[in-house]
Structures are given as structure tokens and as C-alpha cells.
């Protein structure tokens, strides 16, 4: 006996769950989000299969509507009947309503009725809404295809990461012109987060500008921000002069600018706050590097190398070598002021 009831009567008086029927499921026709108390619940990793989408939508609805009346209750459901906009679901709850009685299962037939609308995010996207413009430019050069692909990937990843957490986490428009890349972004917060990432990744310069676009119903002024990210004149693999020494860029990112000194073979890292940064001068793009073949490398004699394209011969003193070479090796170098600097 439990509270004056036998186990069977106690289970009837104390069900494991409570769920009503029929249930109304309001979903976004475009993205599949489900309307829940307080807003719209997004579907992560949007499935391409419509049935899988419906299963996820029903799972979200039942998570909201099935009220647990006991601890450690397991919920499963299966479709009993499928109509056009109506699904008949059998919800099965397993557990125990009191620790002194055996575990049991309860079944509840539930009718789910589908209706469709447009969620807040899709409505704003359809209307071309945006709070911020992100412009990507490069100093005295065009943005490379590789850089463009990387930047689009960063914007995509950060937008997806905020999707479902920020109703304005979307990109309304992307275009590339002769000046660079342009993004119209729904959320100012998301735009600033993307700008932070790109600024650190490319050690870029940044400018922000606010423009008054009107007032809301309460008379509060509304502004739209434009963030300009200007990439450096140089990129990965390019050649620079730092404190009068020719160097090649080997890496760039949050840790700073990593370089290889062509003159002495040393590697070092600097950042925009260091004094050495102000001595940077652009020498040549990576495409200016040449391929050579080592023709002769004898002790106490200059190393002879031949340009693989023009077949022009060059000599390099042994003490000026920064890498180990042998006869027949293929090496790369940069011709600068009638001198060839070899590098790994």
C-alpha cells in the first residue's frame, strides 16, 4: 500500500507524464524552426530530408508539451498514422512514479496538427534587413582568391555558430567587386565578432563608421555601422624588408607575423605593437621567387646555381648560404640587387 492505494491505483493516480491532445505545431516554412513559448526554436544542421525535418520538429514540440511528473522518466514516441498536415503519435513513457513500485510504461496517443508561418529571422532576411556592413579591402593590391575563400569560410562558420542564439545572426547579401568583399549582416554584434576574428587573423587595420538611418517608434535614433577591414600589403609567402634585412613571411595570425631572414637564416616573430613593425617595407610578392638547380658545390669555392627558367648562372659565397645544398638539388631563391638569397 502507498498512501492508502495499491500499486495499480497509485500508478493511475500518479501518471509518469502529462500531455494533452491535440497539439498544434507552428513551423517556419523556409527554415523549419518551431514556435515555442518565448520565440522560435531553430533546427541545427538543417536536414535535407523532409521526414527527418518533421521528426525533429515533433521532438521539439513534445519536449515542450510533455510534462514529466516523476524523476528518471524515459520518453519515446512513434508515428501511428500520417495524414497531410496531421500526425498521430504514440508517446511512451517508462519509469516509476514511486521508488517502492516496479518500473512500468504508459502510452499516450497524441494528435499533432501542423500549421506554417514565417519565423522572425526569415522575415527579416526576406525583407533585406541588416544592421551592419562589413567591407574587406587590401592595401595597394587586390584580395586573392585564397583570401576570399578563407574570409567567406570565417563569416559562414561564425554565423552558423550564432544561429539559433541570435535572431539576427544571418548574412543578407555577399558580393565581390574590384575593391574587395562586402557583407550585409543582420546583427551588429555578429559583424563586430567577425571583424575581430579577421583583424587578428590577417593583422589588418580596422575602421568603424556609424550612419544615422532614422528613428524607431519611441523616437530613439537608429544607426547602421560600417566596418572596414584593410588587409596588409603583404600576404603569406611574400617578401619584406625588416630593419634593412630581406625576409619572407612564413605565418601570420593572432601570434603576430612570423618571418624567415633570408640573410642569416634566422626565424623571428613580430607584432604591430613592436618597434620593428614600423620598419616593414614591401619587397616582392611570393610569385617573384625563382627556382634554381645546384650545379656545383665544392669546398672553399662559391656555390654555382642555374636559373631553371632562364638558365642564367649565379654564384653564392659559402658563408652566405643559409641552407644546406648538394649538387643536383632544386632550390628556391629571390634575386635582389644582383644577389640571390636562397631559402627553404
Determine, yes or no, domain membership for 317: yes
Q: How far out from the chain centre does Cα 169 lie?
A: 12
Indicate the pTM of the whole model.
0.78
CA distance 324 to 288: 22
Are both 84 and 186 inside the same structural domain? no
CA distance 142 to 223: 30
Are both 239 and 318 inside the same structural domain? no
Number of folded domains that form the chain: 4
Tell me the three state secondary structure of residue 125.
helix
Determine, yes or no, domain membership for 1: no
Are both 327 and 243 inside the same structural domain? no
40-71 pLDDT, tens per residue? 988 877 777 888 888 899 999 998 898 988 88
Are both 113 and 139 inside the same structural domain? no
256 burial type by CB count under 10 A (0-12 exposed, 13-18 middle, 19+ buried): middle
pLDDT of residue 5: 81
What residues have CB less than 8 Å from 49, skipping those under 6 apart? Answer: none
pLDDT of residue 68: 86
122-150 pLDDT, tens per residue? 999 989 999 999 999 999 999 999 999 99
CATH assignment of the domain containing 340: 2.40.50
CA distance 309 to 315: 16
CA distance 113 to 83: 10
Determine, yes or no, domain membership for 2: no
38 burial type by CB count under 10 A (0-12 exposed, 13-18 middle, 19+ buried): exposed
What stretch of H or E contains 53?
Answer: helix 50-65
Are both 159 and 59 inside the same structural domain? no
The single residue listed with the C-alpha cell 642564367 is 312
Nearest to 226 by CA among 128, 132, 130, 129: 132
Are both 18 and 94 inside the same structural domain? yes
Are both 134 and 106 inside the same structural domain? no
pLDDT of residue 12: 81
Determine, yes or no, domain membership for 123: no
Do the beta carbons of residue 225 and residue 133 sit within 8 Å?
yes
What residues have CB less than 8 Å from 145, skipping those under 6 apart? Answer: none
Tell me the three state secondary structure of residue 146.
helix
Are both 279 and 295 inside the same structural domain? no
Are both 15 and 111 inside the same structural domain? yes
CATH assignment of the domain containing 265: 2.30.30
Are both 224 and 319 inside the same structural domain? no
Determine, yes or no, domain membership for 226: yes
10-residue averages of pLDDT along the chain (344 residues): 78 85 92 89 80 89 88 86 88 84 86 93 91 96 94 95 88 94 96 96 95 84 94 95 95 93 94 92 95 93 94 92 91 92 92
Q: Which domain holds residue 20?
A: 7-118
Amino acid at each position: 500500500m502507498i498512501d492508502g492505494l495499491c500499486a495499480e491505483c497509485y500508478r493511475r493516480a500518479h501518471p509518469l507524464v502529462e500531455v494533452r491532445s491535440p497539439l498544434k505545431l507552428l513551423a517556419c516554412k523556409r527554415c523549419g524552426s518551431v514556435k515555442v513559448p518565448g520565440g522560435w526554436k531553430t533546427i541545427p544542421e538543417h536536414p535535407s530530408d523532409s521526414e527527418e525535418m518533421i521528426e525533429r520538429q515533433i521532438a521539439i514540440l513534445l519536449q515542450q508539451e510533455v510534462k514529466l511528473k516523476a524523476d528518471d522518466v524515459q520518453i519515446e514516441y512513434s508515428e501511428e498514422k500520417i495524414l497531410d498536415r496531421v500526425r498521430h503519435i504514440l508517446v511512451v513513457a517508462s519509469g516509476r512514479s514511486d521508488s517502492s513500485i516496479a518500473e512500468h510504461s504508459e502510452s499516450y496517443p497524441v494528435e499533432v496538427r501542423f500549421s506554417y508561418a514565417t519565423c522572425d529571422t526569415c522575415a527579416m532576411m526576406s525583407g533585406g534587413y541588416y544592421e551592419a556592413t562589413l567591407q574587406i579591402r587590401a592595401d595597394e593590391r587586390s584580395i586573392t582568391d585564397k583570401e576570399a575563400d578563407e574570409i567567406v569560410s570565417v563569416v559562414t562558420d561564425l554565423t552558423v555558430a550564432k544561429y539559433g542564439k541570435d535572431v539576427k545572426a544571418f548574412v543578407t547579401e555577399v558580393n565581390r567587386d574590384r575593391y574587395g568583399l562586402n557583407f550585409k549582416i543582420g546583427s551588429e554584434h555578429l559583424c563586430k565578432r567577425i571583424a575581430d576574428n579577421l583583424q587578428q587573423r590577417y593583422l589588418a587595420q580596422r575602421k568603424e563608421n556609424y550612419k544615422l538611418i532614422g528613428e524607431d517608434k519611441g523616437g530613439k535614433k537608429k544607426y547602421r555601422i560600417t566596418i572596414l577591414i584593410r588587409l596588409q600589403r603583404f600576404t603569406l609567402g611574400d617578401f619584406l624588408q625588416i630593419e634593412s634585412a630581406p625576409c619572407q613571411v612564413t605565418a601570420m595570425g593572432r601570434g603576430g607575423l612570423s618571418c624567415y631572414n633570408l640573410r642569416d637564416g634566422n626565424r623571428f616573430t613580430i607584432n604591430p605593437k613592436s618597434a620593428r613593425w614600423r620598419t616593414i617595407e614591401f619587397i616582392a610578392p611570393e610569385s617573384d621567387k625563382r627556382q634554381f638547380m645546384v650545379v656545383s658545390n665544392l669546398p672553399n669555392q662559391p656555390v654555382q646555381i642555374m636559373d631553371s627558367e632562364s638558365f642564367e648562372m649565379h654564384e653564392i659565397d659559402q658563408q652566405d648560404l643559409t641552407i644546406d645544398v648538394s649538387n643536383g638539388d632544386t632550390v628556391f631563391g629571390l634575386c635582389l640587387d644582383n644577389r640571390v638569397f636562397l631559402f627553404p
